[in-house]
Structure 1
Amino acid sequence: MKVLVTGFEPFGGEKGNPALEAIKGLPAEIHGAEVRWLEVPTVFHKSAQVLEEEMNRYQPDFVLCIGQAGGRTSLTPERVVINQDDARISDNEDNQPIDRPIRPDGASAYFSSLPIKAMVQAIKKKDYRPLFPIRQGLLSAAI
């Protein structure tokens, strides 16, 4: 099994991104699964392009997109990604789209195929205090 884990480059004037630093420390193999990490640009539509290119090259069985959400104090597995850019802040190239579809030909939203509820229970056992949001942060790309 192959797993691709992504993290965004630093953004919003920050020197680093804790999510990216966390995935850089992942081992190359976890429980028999081959793990590869990928830094994606914090630029609308470029992130999706970089991710698609790597998915085509690597052909992963699973993709986990890890992100930083300032102010959150817990891990938050997300069930749904919304096909809409609605930026609170500009990306690293000063783009700030508002109410714009990420993929005009795509669905309005996409549900994760991962076992989110089981993941939340596993996180709770480790005492990481998970939240259960209903939508993905809008800096992420839906593909």
Structure 2
Amino acid sequence: MKVLVTGFEPFDGAAVNESWEAVRCLRAAWADEQRAEELVVARLPVSFRGAPALLHRLLAEHSPQVVVCVGLAAGSRAVRLERVAVNVVDARIPDAAGRAPVDEPVVADGPVAYLSSLPLKAALASVRGTGVPVAVSNTAGTYVCNATFYALAHALAATDVRAGFVHVPAADVVPVAGSARALAAVVRTAADHRAGRIDDLVLAAGTEH
């Protein structure tokens, strides 16, 4: 089984992007996992056009059975397993190419939203087992992360690929090594679910607001 995991390049003047650092850390540790899955990693540009375009090329080149895209949520206090991608872009700041679309669709005439096809509740339980703070999130924002998540879900909507998006916090909240452990738990769980080795769980993770 082939697994694709992506992070993002630094943006908005930052020297690093914890999403890519966590993916790099995951790659370095993957051999020690002694898993049969082949792990492919890639760094995406923080670009409304560039990130989906590169992601589409990676999907065509590698034909993965599991895809986990990873982004940075600097204000988060936990790793966030994103449930929903919405078909809207509303950019607070320009992307790396200088574009700042407002109230535009990610995909013209696409559905309003897609749900993650990752086994979110089983992944939630797995990440909890690592001791890393984690939550199911019901909004991936309206910036490049959400646009990438939506483009991913749209591209794979008619397939049995397990695909979704994870946000990691800044390193001063959860160290990169901790985020990498969480990502490893998500990837392992998704691969086991895709292979039919486990079922997803029924586990409450909703909110009242």
TM-score (norm 2): 0.65
C-alpha distance in 2 between matches for 1:137 and 1:117: 21
Name the counterpart of 1:23: 23
Name the counterpart of 1:9: 9
Mapped contact 1:45–1:102 kept (Cα < 8 A): no
Q: Is 1:89 equivalent to 2:86 in the alignment? A: no
Match of 2:50 among 29, 46, 53: 46
Q: CA distance change for structure 1 residues 6 and 137 in 2, over 3 Å: closer, same or farther?
A: farther
Match of 1:62 among 62, 66, 69: 66
C-alpha distance in 1 between matches for 2:136 and 2:56: 27
Bigger Rg over Cα: 2
C-alpha distance in 1 between matches for 2:110 and 2:57: 18
1:86 Cα deviation from its structure 2 partner: 1.3
Unaligned runs of 5+ in 1: none
Counterpart AA for 1:55: L
Q: How many residue pairs align between the two structures?
A: 143
Counterpart AA for 2:59: M
C-alpha distance in 1 between matches for 2:16 and 2:138: 27
CA RMSD of aligned residues (A): 1.4
C-alpha distance in 2 between matches for 1:47 and 1:35: 19
1:129 Cα deviation from its structure 2 partner: 1.7
Counterpart AA for 2:71: G
Mapped contact 1:76–1:131 kept (Cα < 8 A): yes
1:87 Cα deviation from its structure 2 partner: 1.4
CA deviations over 1:46-85 (Å, ceiling 9, x no partner) = 1100000110001000110000011212111111111211
C-alpha distance in 1 between matches for 2:39 and 2:14: 27
Mapped contact 2:83–2:138 kept (Cα < 8 A): yes
Mapped contact 2:120–2:136 kept (Cα < 8 A): no
Mapped contact 1:90–1:96 kept (Cα < 8 A): yes
Q: 1:110-125 residue pairs with structure 2 within 5 A? A: 110-125=114-129
Name the counterpart of 2:205: none
1:41 Cα deviation from its structure 2 partner: 0.7
Mapped contact 1:5–1:63 kept (Cα < 8 A): yes
